[in-house]
Amino acid sequence: MRRGRSRAARRTRSESKTPRRHKNYLSWIVLKAHTKNNAGNVTLRSADPRDPPDINFRYFDEGSDRAGEDLDAVVEGIKFVRGMTADLKNQGAIVQEELPGERVRSDEELRDFVRNNAWGHHASCTCPIGARETGGVLTSDFRVHGTQGLRVVDASVFPRIPGFFIVSAVYMIGEKAADVILAEHPAR
């Protein structure tokens, strides 16, 4: 199984400006948002704030989606795109499938490919606002339960991932937290 970027993505900037005989590339990606999995965690490695935390997303089999709905949704997405592009392949407009590759056919082979290659960049929901009794980590004013002088203002405050691209929701949380903090510390 090949890993990494496609040949098109590996080309350097100067190479991409060089005329090529074949410039026919089609890229697609299967995105699964609104995951059922909420078993990931973030653990501090030390008391040093410069030491990056240990982040474990706990995808698929090791997460809380034991029924495999997330994994199956991504596999179905791959099969859907393959079906959509079948005519282009038959017409010769698509020469080959780069990843996962044409030899990866069965559902189980596709599941293995997804398990080994899936990634995410919307880490969130590890310190949700809410009551301690229900699993909340933060108060409504972004303070960490049981601490003093510590607030969290980032994507970890959400109880569930708020959408496909979470940046606007993160901006809103930042604005809300700024209002809360400024209200507690009015300008003199």
Which class for 12: exposed (0-12), middle (13-18), buried (19 or more C-beta within 10 A)? exposed
Write down the domain spans for the chain: 1-119, 121-188
- Mean pLDDT computed over every residue of the chain: 82
Alpha helices (H) along 55-156: 69-90, 107-117
* Other beta carbons within 10 Å of 127: 20
List the structure tokens of 5: 């970027």
Q: Which residue has the higher pLDDT, 49 or 143?
A: 143
For 29-76, write each residue's pLDDT tens digit: 777 766 667 777 888 899 998 999 888 877 776 766 777 888 898 899
- Residue-wise pLDDT for 167-186, tens only, equals 999 999 999 999 999 999 88
How distant, in Å, are the alpha carbons of 56, 180, 183 from that of 186? 39, 10, 6
pLDDT at position 27 over 90: no
Q: What confidence category does residue 21 fall into, taking pLDDT thresholds of 50, 70 and 90?
A: low
Task: Please give the pLDDT value at position 5.
Answer: 44
Give the separation between CA 161 and CA 124, rounded to whole angstroms: 6
pTM: 0.62
Provide the pLDDT for residue 24.
62
73-111 pLDDT, tens digit per residue, is: 889 999 999 999 999 889 888 888 888 988 999 999 999
